Structure 1
Amino acid sequence: MTHEAPERDDLDRTGDVDPLVDACVADALSPYLGALSPEEIEDYRRLLEVFITTHPASMPLYDRLRARPPVLSESGEVAREGSGAKGAMATPAAPERGDGTFGGRR
């Protein structure tokens, strides 16, 4: 059984660092920074970058992550469809007191 992976022409990214790949590689290699030489770290970094962007198991996940909208850098309220009032967040009902339980379990 063979898998025909699409050819990628952008494998040689000298100087062009993808922040998503860089974060994955940094997370994977962080335990080994003190144990491996800088040359070995760079070799593993290149290997993992090629693996993440070309392997049939990881490439679809990588493409899906790249297609996501960027994460908001500020916290705050987010409007959701079907929430009723515009901009208003639903207030949870106060838990019933006196019966020793919370969350409606009896």
Structure 2
Amino acid sequence: ICPIETPEGPNIGLINSLATFARVNKYGFIESPYRKIIDGKVTAEVIYLSAMEESKHYVAQANSSLDAEGRFTEEFVVCRHAGEVLMAPRDHVDLMDVSPKQLVSVAASLIPFLENDD
């Protein structure tokens, strides 16, 4: 769910916008897409995971630097694991976000310089 377009306070829950690339599975859970990393190489294979499933993996940001072969250039990579943001060795990382915009909705992703917008 988009954190920008979803209101807080007394209006919470009235408007919910799905984040970009998100989908609802047959059980009603929201899933996000991730690229698989096999033997340290980012592949084109995309899998969808719920938030509970994602927390079991080390997920790198979509804008992490990669070399021409699709491997991380840095020894340590900024990633998420079990709800925490941390620096993990590149060989621990097993998934990668598909896009830096997958956190926000389509409408919010059109806001220029969103990271500096209050």
Q: TM-score, normalised by structure 1?
A: 0.25
* Higher strand content, 1 or 2: 2
**Relative CO higher for 1 or 2, CA cutoff 8 Å, sep ≥ 6?**
2
Higher percent of residues as helix: 1
From the CA coordinates, give the structure whose radius of gyration is larger: 1
